[in-house]
């Protein structure tokens, strides 16, 4: 039996995985879907204002501690890639597989802000204009989304070589929004790195909601691996 710890992306909570969780549980696995500090419905303004990337990595580590989890598959979507990277680096060997689901894969000293495109930096800045500490969700999308702590987008991650010791590191590229994705160059970089496996899914960014069966199949090792080739760009 595997144990999956699922970390959502920006503005989202555990609900973003609600269609995937039962598929993994039906296959006999334990699943922990998290809502990060500052994104919970009862979090007050002070909690939102002070939550940062370290806070969110701590959320993951506390779940590992409280549930006695070892050998975990840690999954991060979008901004959640920053979180799972930071948490896995500090998890003292308790992570056996790391899956970045259309997510940022930072190097030491990078932040979500520095890793994304100018388009998304403009989204972050515009969304934070009213409070200065939280980023409103972009227009449209699920009404359950909540303002996201700005500090977590800005804080640089500090990483050691511990990530390279995780037995399996995987990146899932969602190709259905190629006109806007900030992950195309990242996909090429990781495809050229023998330490990573790269998968393609022909979905938009929210693959776990658009194609939960495909996401679950990938996590259950029932999805073919696609080796992406670097472009000339």
> What is the architecture of the domain spanning 3-219?
3-Layer(aba) Sandwich (3.40)
pLDDT in tens, 1-15: 899 999 999 999 999
Pairing of strands 148-149, 134-135: antiparallel
Q: What is the mean pLDDT of residues 45-51?
A: 98
pLDDT in tens, 201-214: 999 999 999 999 99
pLDDT in tens, 170-205: 999 999 999 999 999 999 999 999 999 999 999 999
Work out the angle between the directed axes of helices 80-90 and 53-67 (0-180°, nearest 10).
Answer: 60
pTM of the predicted model as reported, rounded to 2 decimal places: 0.94
**Domain residue ranges of the chain, discontinuous segments joined by +:** 3-219
- The CA distance from 90 to 75, in Å, is 15
């Amino acid at each position: 039996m595997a144990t999956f710890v699922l970390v959502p992306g920006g503005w989202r909570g555990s609900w973003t995985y609600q269609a995937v969780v039962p598929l993994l549980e039906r296959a006999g696995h334990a699943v922990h879907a998290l809502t990060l500090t500052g994104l919970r419905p009862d979090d007050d303004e002070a909690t939102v204002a002070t939550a940062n990337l370290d806070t969110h990595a701590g959320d993951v580590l506390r779940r590992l501690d409280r549930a006695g989890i070892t050998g975990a598959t840690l999954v991060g979507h979008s901004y959640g890639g920053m979180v799972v990277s930071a948490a896995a680096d500090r998890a003292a060997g308790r992570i056996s597989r790391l899956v970045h689901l259309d997510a940022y894969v930072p190097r030491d000293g990078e932040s979500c802000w520095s890793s994304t495109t100018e388009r998304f930096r403009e989204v972050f800045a515009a969304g934070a204009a009213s409070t200065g500490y939280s980023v409103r969700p972009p227009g449209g999308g699920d009404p359950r989304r909540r303002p996201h702590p700005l500090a977590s987008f800005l804080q640089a991650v500090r990483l050691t070589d511990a990530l390279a010791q995780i037995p399996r590191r995987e990146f899932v590229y969602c190709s259905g929004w190629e006109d806007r994705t900030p992950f195309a160059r990242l996909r090429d970089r990781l495809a050229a790195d023998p330490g990573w496996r790269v998968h393609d899914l022909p979905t938009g960014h929210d693959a776990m909601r658009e194609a939960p069966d495909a996401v679950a199949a990938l996590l259950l090792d029932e999805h073919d691996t696609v080796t992406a080739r670097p472009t000339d760009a």
